[in-house]
Structure 1
Amino acid sequence: MSSTPPAPAAPHRAEIEHVVRRLLYQRLGQPLPRSARAPRPLIVNVSARHCHLTPQAVETLFGRGHQLQPKKWLYQAGQFAAEETVTLIGPRSRVISNLRILGPCRDLNQVELANTDAISLGFEAPVRASGDIKGTPGCMLMGPVGFLELPQGVIRAAPHVHMHPDDAAFYGVKPGSFIHLRVGGPCAMTFDRMLVRVSPDFKLEVHIDTDEGNACGLTPGTPCELVP
């Protein structure tokens, strides 16, 4: 079976609010705040533990010819949480069941955990940018029809922001540089090393893990801003 291309997505609520806010300030004749001048609204999402797999790994775990099936389309175009999950076996023989696979398939296998997950399983997982897996711990994955031993690939994903080139130009940053993320609310804090990733295919979105999201008390209504 092949995955079905995503249907045209309705605008995200934050995108609609961004346009309305900009029009309201213009109508009132008031200067636009920086957040309203930005090309796109800022979306901050918590990325729960998950893995990325190669087509060969998917076949090993789920059977010959198997392809990932979308369960939920994500904010970035073409990215989805798959119906399929695997069991992750750590060095202490402790397991995480139902570890979600994110699609589409990639050219390397990678497991992304929060620090709490890593400690519980017995991993010394370093903070790395996605794809930088050299020298990282390996693990065992179990699927419905097979096992897969990864010699490396277990990381804690560095907090990062996806940017379109227009966003990068607005904030004055380049791919691989860092920007601050200021989070408001009762547990207000600032992330000082938000890794910048830039692509014409990206929409402006920050990814932090569950530990980081819990630490700053992130909710859909929490005010956030990027600070160059």
Structure 2
Amino acid sequence: MQTTNLNRSEVERLVREVLTQKLRGGPTAREQHARQPSQAGGPPHPLVVNVSARHMHVKQEHLEILFGPGAKLTKLKDLYQQGEFASEQLVTVVGPRQRIIPNVRILGPMRDYTQIELSYTDGIYLGIDLPLRISGNHKDTPGCTILGPKGSLTIDKGVIRAERHVHMSTEDMSYYGVKDGDYMKLKIDGPCGVTFDRLKVRYHPKVVLEVHIDTDEGNACDLESATHMELIK
């Protein structure tokens, strides 16, 4: 059996690379696969599918209630879309059954509304009948109580199950032949392969092509084991 001797500097370099990837939320297997260069005539950007775990968006007024006057979000790591990040701030969500879900992370940047995004399973556990909505649509949505280290607040709306969606730029929409608000299918091959229907197209000129599904959906298809992913009009 052959052995390879690494000198100290080489070991330190490898350790730094691993730590840097962890701290930055390095690419998962599905992202590494998706980031392979596109073939000639293929889609303009690689497809990335990410699970959007339960989280909170918050406006400044509510952040200060939960974390104290003058509170600001502090970045833990960047997310896939430029300018978006997971913060170090965590809250506890309390449902009408007095059941709680702790350690719900706040995502930045700041919003002009407060919103909690949960999975269907989370809603059953908390006793909240979650409506399926695109982020920001809070009409006729339920509320909940939120606990922070410096205070608590009860919102009367803004708790949703996020509708699965794909972020697209102008170039992406042109390639796939869709427009903002259209629905597509997401086909995932693998040991637990599935095809998700009603994947909503969300347009922004500066976004990177990315699909968001929730935790229940990610578990159903065992996303980490996916061998191929495809958007279908």
Q: TM-score normalised to the size of structure 1? A: 0.86
Post-superposition offset of 1:16: 4.5
Q: Which has the larger radius of gyration?
A: 2
Aligned residue in 1 for 2:227: 222
Aligned residue in 2 for 1:6: none
- Unmatched tracts of structure 1, length 5 or more: 1-8, 23-31
1:18 equivalent among 34, 37, 46? 37
Post-superposition offset of 1:72: 1.1
1:41 equivalent among 43, 46, 51? 46
Cα distance in 1 between the residues matched to 2:168 and 2:85: 18
Per-residue displacement from partner, 1:143-180 (whole Å, max 9, x unpaired)?
11111110001100000000111001110111111111
Post-superposition offset of 1:188: 1.4
Kept after mapping to 2: 8 A contact 1:181/1:227: yes
Kept after mapping to 2: 8 A contact 1:15/1:40: no
Aligned residue in 2 for 1:28: none
Aligned residue in 1 for 2:10: none
Kept after mapping to 2: 8 A contact 1:125/1:155: yes
Secondary structure of 2:153 counterpart: strand
RMSD: 1.9
Per-residue displacement from partner, 1:76-110 (whole Å, max 9, x unpaired)?
00000100000100000000111010001111111
Q: How many equivalent residue pairs?
A: 207
User: 1:112 is aligned with what amino acid?
Assistant: E
Cα 1:117–1:10 change in 2 (3 A) is: closer
Cα distance in 2 between the residues matched to 1:70 and 1:10: 15
Secondary structure of 2:36 counterpart: helix
User: 1:125 is aligned with what amino acid?
Assistant: L
Kept after mapping to 2: 8 A contact 1:84/1:101: yes
Cα distance in 1 between the residues matched to 2:124 and 2:198: 22
Cα distance in 2 between the residues matched to 1:187 and 1:14: 18
Kept after mapping to 1: 8 A contact 2:191/2:225: no
Per-residue displacement from partner, 1:39-74 (whole Å, max 9, x unpaired)?
100000001000100011111110111110110100
2:109 equivalent among 104, 107, 122? 104
Cα 1:10–1:143 change in 2 (3 A) is: closer
Percent identical residues: 51
Runs of 4+ in 1 over 6 A off after TM superposition: 9-12
Post-superposition offset of 1:221: 4.7
Matches within 5 A, 1:8-157: 13-14=32-33, 16-19=35-38, 22=39, 32=40, 37-157=42-162
Q: TM-score normalised to the size of structure 2? A: 0.84
Kept after mapping to 2: 8 A contact 1:53/1:107: yes
Post-superposition offset of 1:220: 6.3
Secondary structure of 1:194 counterpart: strand
- Unmatched tracts of structure 2, length 5 or more: 1-24
Cα 1:140–1:50 change in 2 (3 A) is: same
Cα distance in 2 between the residues matched to 1:75 and 1:202: 9
